[in-house]
Structure 1
């Protein structure tokens, strides 16, 4: 006890009448550290029932509605009038037609060519390369083909020296060019094929049909989009463009059936599930009479 008092007295300082701040090195320093929480067991995730999943999907669908017209259906002329009213300050805006199709397993992505009764913009010209020889090659050149030749063109296509947006071929040359060009043009959808009509003996006639036409193509989900008309077009012209394009799509997807030879058991190759007309600032309106 006496030793402790001696030590304590040694640390005391007499008051000299001045307030001074002294630092004592022997004072204990206190440090703080983060509190480590005890590890908790993970809660088991309870699987939702079918009714709960359906209710969750309905709730999500209601939240995802972007506009008032999401669940509405209108006739084509009514939809045109609504969009025209929305775009009253933008007479150069464009109507866009969106066609949603149901692609089944093994169904090819729909594609084709069309020429609207009244074009919305100047049609871009394709750069055409033709694999042909002899008389057919001469006819292809006169019809307007940009590059015409035989197997000697293959290496130039692979190296990128010969570039084109469309490739045509005669039936007698398709087997010779396929082994080398299949892996180059196939992934780009440019390889000539009989199914697409780009392997034909009537090259000149095919080229003449291409003039003034544009290509339409669906995406991987089967959705087809195209500008269909301008806002300043008369309503009759807009209707005519939509009806024409819908006929082209129905023919390509097997939805256009002759009434006289209709088979009730025959199903279309690719079913059309929805047709939507929209504009740049306007909503997407489902067409009921498409």
Structure 2
């Protein structure tokens, strides 16, 4: 036997493609994960979720003015210094309230001791007939009529910023206008005083006043004074407006209004923050109003 033939006999047999596949892949059943080692997602309680949210809010980036509290006098002086090149700028007062679920959005009318801007005139529509209608026209109502005006209001032909109604017509207009004016806070109601026999007196009382109203979050904004006003006038305007807001939110009891509207004392809507700002100045939290 030659050396070449002996070497060929001793060489290991060639591996086929099938055998290579058999070596690379396991033919056994796949192993299933054990149930005991599955990671469970913890369910947090309401208290734990609140603590987690509080911790996250504490870490959130905040403005340097968020924790800054000043007296009204100091805030006025800071804003006057910032706006030294714009003496005709306007102070804006922002009042934030904790408007609870089901609470009525606070609103009212005001005439500042010294007006910051010319009062915008309301367009008044009155549902009245006979003598009450004539009194409304003499007092300055823009549109006066009976229940026939309801269709025009519903389809947008008659538009106004204030709607008044006499008690004898309120039932006639409510089915058509309740869903139209109600969501906008314009539906006449006895609680607001816009359903009255004395529509002429109500209109005369509104002359020279401006409406203020909170938004859906309960935030009230109002131009409160000009920067070139004397400091005493600015303070007087702010305190006057805050008194109105506190009465409307129940923070100051108005015994006369409660007697007129009935139903006892109204629920209190807490005031959480009062901020004074200007066009270019920062918003400064006021500590003494």
Q: CA deviation at 1:222?
A: 0.9
1:62-89 deviation line (CA, Å, top 9, x unaligned): x1x223x321211111110011111111
In 1: Cα distance, 2:41 partner to 2:87 partner: 55
In 2: Cα distance, 1:252 partner to 1:52 partner: 35
Q: CA deviation at 1:189?
A: 1.8
In 2: Cα distance, 1:181 partner to 1:174 partner: 10
1:151 is aligned to 147
SS at match of 2:85: coil
Q: Which runs of 5+ in 2 are unaligned?
A: 1-38, 255-264
1:115 is aligned to 111
Moved segments of 4+, more than 4 Å: 43-53
2:159 is aligned to 163
Question: 186, 200, 205: which is aligned to 1:204?
Answer: 200
SS at match of 2:66: helix
State how 1:13-162 maps to structure 2 within 5 Å: 53-60=53-60, 63=61, 65-67=62-64, 69-162=65-158
Q: CA deviation at 1:158?
A: 2.2
Q: Which runs of 5+ in 1 are unaligned?
A: 1-42, 259-265
In 1: Cα distance, 2:116 partner to 2:59 partner: 40
CA RMSD of aligned residues (A): 2.4
2:27 is aligned to none
1:40 is aligned to none
2:274 is aligned to 275
TM-score (norm 1): 0.77
TM-score (norm 2): 0.77
In 2: Cα distance, 1:58 partner to 1:167 partner: 46
Q: CA deviation at 1:160?
A: 2.4
In 2: Cα distance, 1:268 partner to 1:156 partner: 36
Q: CA deviation at 1:207?
A: 0.2
Relative distance call for 1:56 and 1:158 in structure 2 (3 A) is closer
Relative distance call for 1:57 and 1:44 in structure 2 (3 A) is farther
1:3 is aligned to none
Q: CA deviation at 1:187?
A: 2.2
